[in-house]
Amino acid sequence: METKLTFKVIEEGEDDKIFQKEIVGKADLIVEGGAGNNLGPCIWLRRAGYRGPYVRVDPAYPPRLTELELEEGVRYCNQGGDCFDLGLVESLIEKFDSETPCFLTHKALSNVLLRKCEREGIRRVTKILTELYEMQLHILPAGFGIITHKRHYDEIFRKEKPEDRPPYVELYPTEDESWVVAVDVFGVGNLGEHQNVKTFKAFVEESYKLGWDFCVPKYTGELMLMLRRDATELGR
In this prediction, residue 226 carries a pLDDT of: 95
CA triple 40-138-182, angle to 5 deg: 115
Cβ 162 vs Cβ 112: under 8 Å: no
What is the rounded distance in angstroms from the CA atom of residue 186 to the CA atom of residue 1? 39
Distances (CA, A) of 133 to 41, 86, 106, 111, 143: 18, 11, 17, 21, 22
State the pLDDT at residue 4. Answer: 84
C-beta separation of 57 from 35 below 8 A = yes
pTM of the complete model: 0.91
Helix (H, G, I), strand (E, B), or coil: what is residue 230?
helix
CATH code of domain 7-144+195-231 = 3.40.50.150
59: nearest Cα among 37, 81, 89: 81
- DSSP conformation class of 2: P
Residue 14 has a pLDDT of 55
pLDDT, tens digit only, all 236 positions of the chain = 356 899 988 876 555 688 888 999 999 999 999 999 999 999 999 999 999 999 999 999 999 999 999 877 789 999 999 999 999 999 999 999 999 999 999 989 988 899 888 899 999 999 999 999 999 999 988 776 788 888 888 888 888 898 889 889 899 999 888 899 888 877 777 877 888 888 999 999 999 999 999 998 877 778 899 999 876 555 54
